[in-house]
A = this chain, B = another copy of it.
């Protein structure tokens, strides 16, 4: 008789999640000699390394013992002040309304912890950011996707879904959305705000990409519209603007929920790295982040152009791609008969990877879709890899 190896009990929320199709996709995409457009990975050559290093050095020289000591769950004062200053460009914000998190992912998780009961409905754009879906789903929330068009979530569909499903929360990414790259125009934001006000519904507004504009145009968050700031949890991240490895983000809120968010954050991780928080504050105080973001966005725009130019002539007749005015992602729907998941292994064999779009849908996935990040590689690399992707698509077309 052999003793059975011990197995830890696993909570139902993670049952069967030891492996996942997405993990397999990212493993595939990480294969050698594969140009991957799968992850939203910044080009490390574009990091503002010297000023960031300078900020760490300054903090450890001038605030060393404080940086190494325990902080508070709300976040370090200097960082909350910098965050409030940036947010106040569009939404008047006091430092006391900021809660620091270890990236936006933790912010989404904190919101879920603070607000969601098993069985609650969360309405999301269809398609939407999959890691947000996961943070909500492991709290037992039921995710329902709401119809979108080229201007984002459709207000009538949103209102109908709210009245039908009584969601605990609506989650939107209004600017340079992940995965589609689409942006809600001002009129659409107003229409959505009216729906949320009329139905007395809270909003989690995720804005990690809003400053990464290619045209110079920026959009004030829905939180800035009349009546909306008190019912919106507005999330920002330094991951896309400064560096993802630093894991610093924050959210803006008003009223008693601020205390609940701090208690939830304390239960999850006490506080975010004080060294990193003070360093980000110092960086925001002394570096010219706006100028840096402008430079990076100019490079990203060239890469978007390279990707769109290469991809467009290779697409099937009834395919559609988005033309994002900022952010990191381009979204392609190949159309009837194509299955981007099914095609991926062949693409990887041809040396190119993308993220199949089905994973971004809470329900009724369009399996012909794919998300392509254009920020990681140079225009030349993008052009070559997209050519190879085009050949794979053409091979499929021949069999339709």
- Residues of chain A touching chain B, judged by Cβ–Cβ distance below 8 Å, are 5-14, 17-20, 39, 41-42, 44-45, 47, 49, 52-53, 56-57, 60-61, 64-71, 102-103, 105-106, 109, 113-118, 131, 134-135, 138-139, 168, 200, 202, 230-231, 233, 239, 243-247, 253, 255-257, 259-260, 263-264, 266-276
Contact = CB atoms under 8 A, between A and B. Distances in A.
Nearest to A118: B118
B61 A267 contact: no
A256 B105 contact: no
Nearest to A53: B60
B257 A10 contact: yes
Contacts of A67: 245
A199 to B, nearest CB: 12
10 contacts: A18-B259, A39-B70, A41-B70, A45-B65, A47-B69, A52-B68, A105-B267, A131-B266, A131-B267, A268-B269
Contacts of A134: 266-267
Nearest to A168: B9
B52 A65 contact: no
Contact of A47 (B9, B49, B68, B271): B68
A116 B264 CA distance: 17
Contacts of A138: 113, 264, 267
Given A10-B260, A103-B270, A44 B65 contact: yes
A16 B105 CA distance: 25
Nearest to A273: B247
Contacts of A135: 267-268
A245 B6 contact: no
B274 A69 contact: no
A168 B114 CA distance: 24
